[in-house]
């Protein structure tokens, strides 16, 4: 978390805490013959999440579903401080999933109870077993910009003096903050894993004059583009549909040099008393039909991990799929998380003064 925003986080923490103690963000009704389940998930595209995942699951499984929405880091922090929140299943960005597993917040998964697990790739199955969580979608980083104002073809273009005071980048505390540092390391010619990010932070210092804002919510970018406050932003592909819906002229690219991938993972909390329903939910998340549904631009724009799902070129647009997936590099979140406290401090001194 960004320690310069402690007051805001405290307010968010209290809000999320109230959700866990019964004031749920929304509820999917069913006959409840299949039991109850409280799902903690992302706060982006909540209507689509409700309509395309939670309600269909409740109807199919006869499970009564309650839902908590919020950003990944805040929800994990809440669980860490109060493991008896009543949440059964939590969906987290990969770095938070790694942290949650290290802190032993999750039940040990029995993958034999997830029949659709076999449709994940070998690397995704390996990730699941290493983190005791199950990846259900993959996303990656790109550049969204106003082509009427600027022309961008590569990551190095972000450092151009022509973009002074014209771009926004994800804050270090967000899902793609570490990926931004990896990109800076590539620009500097030294991987963050080789020098603990020293060259990357020098590159971020060079980039600083171009950065209007280090953002924590993708939704903030919409108004910034509309007002002309920014002309380009580094953004996760899951937010592209939302941004283009409000600013149709925006163009999104994933540079040919590659990108960095992040998995969103789902796990069962250690203190869950509804494990049977939780396993049903995870399996439902990996279902071919549901994976195809949520891949839609009008849905969650979630790239599928079920290898049985095939997308048309139109459906694959702005997703970590096909050629984009092939050039998406992995982030070592075990390494990242071991350096995160130091990196947040260094980042704030350079980017958030």
CA atoms within 13 A on the CB side of 290: 21
* Residues 213 and 345 both lie in one domain: yes
Same structural domain, 157 and 276:
no
Identify the H or E element spanning 145.
Answer: strand 134-145
Look up the domain containing 17 and give its range: 3-139+263-320
pTM: 0.82
For residue 27, the model assigns a pLDDT of 62
- Does residue 95 sit in the same domain as residue 198? no
Scored b (16 or more CB within 10 A) or e, 155-170 reads bebbbeeebeebbbbb
pLDDT digits (tens, 9 = 90+) for 277-306: 999 999 999 999 999 999 987 888 899 999
Of 90 and 24, the one with more pLDDT: 90
Residues 74 and 213 occupy one common structural domain: no
**327: in domain:** no
Residue 112 exposed, middle or buried by CB count within 10 Å (0-12, 13-18, 19+): exposed
Q: Is residue 214 part of a domain?
A: yes
What's 262-324 look like in SS3? EEEEEEEECCCCCHHHHHHHHHHHCCHHHHHHHCCCCCCCCECCCCCCCCCHHHHCCCCCCHH
State percent of the chain over pLDDT 70.
91
The CB density around residue 310, as the number of other CB atoms within 10 Å, is 11
Do 14 and 113 share a structural domain? yes
Task: Kindly state whether residue 277 falls inside one of the protein's structural domains.
Answer: yes
Does residue 278 lie in a domain region? Answer: yes
pLDDT band for position 238 (50/70/90)?
confident
Same domain, 101 and 222: no
- Kindly state whether residues 102 and 194 are assigned to the same domain: no
pLDDT at 34 over 80: no
287 domain-assigned: yes
CATH at 310: 3.40.190.10
Domain-located, residue 336: yes
Q: Answer yes or no: is pLDDT of 2 > 50.
A: no
Q: Distance from CA of residue 223 to its chain's centroid?
A: 21
Spatial contact of 150 and 166, defined as CB atoms under 8 Å apart: yes
pLDDT over threshold 60, residue 32: no
pLDDT bucket at 22, cuts 50 / 70 / 90: very low
Answer yes or no: are the C-beta atoms of 208 and 351 closer than 8 Å: yes
The verdict on 154 and 135 lying in the same domain is no
Q: Say whether both 135 and 191 belong to one domain.
A: no
87 and 216 co-located in one domain: no
């Amino acid at each position: 978390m960004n320690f310069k925003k402690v007051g805001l986080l405290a307010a968010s923490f209290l809000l999320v805490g109230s959700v866990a103690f019964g004031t749920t963000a929304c509820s999917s009704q069913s006959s409840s013959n299949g039991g109850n389940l409280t799902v903690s998930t992302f706060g982006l595209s909540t209507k689509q999440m409700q309509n395309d995942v939670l309600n269909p699951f409740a109807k199919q499984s006869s499970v009564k579903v309650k839902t908590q929405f919020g950003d990944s880091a805040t929800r994990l922090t809440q669980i860490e401080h109060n493991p008896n929140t009543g949440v059964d299943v939590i969906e987290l960005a990969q770095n938070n999933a790694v942290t949650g597993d290290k802190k032993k917040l999750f039940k040990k998964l029995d993958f034999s109870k997830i029949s659709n697990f076999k449709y994940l790739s070998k690397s995704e199955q390996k990730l699941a077993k290493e983190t005791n969580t199950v990846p259900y979608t993959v996303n990656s980083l790109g550049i969204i910009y106003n082509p009427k104002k600027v022309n961008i073809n590569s990551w190095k273009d972000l450092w151009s003096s022509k973009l002074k005071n014209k771009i926004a980048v994800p804050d270090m505390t967000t899902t793609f903050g570490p990926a931004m540092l990896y990109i800076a390391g590539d620009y500097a010619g030294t991987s963050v894993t080789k020098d603990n990010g020293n060259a990357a932070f020098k590159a971020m210092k060079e980039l600083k004059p171009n950065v209007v804002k280090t953002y924590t919510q993708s939704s903030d970018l919409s108004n910034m583009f509309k007002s002309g406050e920014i002309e380009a932003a580094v953004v996760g592909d899951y937010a592209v549909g939302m941004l283009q819906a409000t600013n149709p002229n925006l163009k999104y690219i994933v540079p040919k040099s590659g990108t960095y991938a992040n998995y969103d993972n789902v796990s069962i909390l250690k203190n869950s008393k509804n494990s049977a329903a939780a396993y049903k939910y995870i399996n439902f998340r990996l279902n071919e039909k549901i994976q195809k549904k949520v891949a839609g631009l009008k849905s969650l724009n979630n790239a599928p991990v079920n290898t049985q799902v095939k997308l048309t070129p139109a459906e694959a647009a702005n997703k970590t799929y096909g050629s984009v997936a092939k050039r998406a590099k992995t982030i070592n979140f075990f390494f990242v998380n071991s350096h995160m406290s130091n990196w947040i401090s260094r980042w704030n001194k350079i980017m958030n003064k």
